[in-house]
Amino acid sequence: MDKNKETDTIKIVTYEPQYQEAFKSLNTEWISKYFEIEAADTIALDHPKEYILDKGGEIFIALLNDEAIGVCAMIKMQEDFDYEMAKMAVSPKAQGKGIGLLLGKFVIDWAAQNNASTIYLESNTQLEPAINLYYKLGFKEVTRKNSPYKRANIQMLLDLKNQE
């Protein structure tokens, strides 16, 4: 029951420059825990305006009492799919409380409202809670071209037009 109580007080807002440090630190923290920071990470985390926002994407911040505890980016794709769900991270102190699910549903709804028909993501099967979350959100495993990330060993797709 506590899980729902906490998520009821979560507010999700769109990116503003004041959230730059939270976007970078939350992602750096989780990536560093399991993998190494790669060049593609640094570009996106250091330059979200140029890399994500200016290209038609959006970044969402989950706030608990005005503290950023979760982030997720929707990167506008130039080919194949409409958006890539990327750079999702939840603060360790907020993990296991449904924040990822809340963020995931929110960004999927946002994409649907922006006429997206497909959302793509890359992850690593070592991250079982994340993979389970993606399946719960309706993503299915796909095979695609090579990833810019060494750590990516699974690619998934959500077809918004043909959901069960």
User: pLDDT tens digit string along 53-98?
Assistant: 999 999 999 999 899 999 999 999 977 889 999 999 999 999 888 9
Q: Tell me what pLDDT residue 8 has.
A: 58
Q: Tell me what pLDDT residue 2 has.
A: 40
Say how far apart CA 5 and CA 43 lie, in whole Å.
36
Q: Tell me what pLDDT residue 149 has.
A: 85
Residue numbers of the chain with a pLDDT score lower than 50:
1-5
- Any idea of the CA torsion for 53, 59, 65, 66, to the nearest 10 degrees? -10
Nearest one of 21, 5, 139 to 89, comparing CA atoms: 21
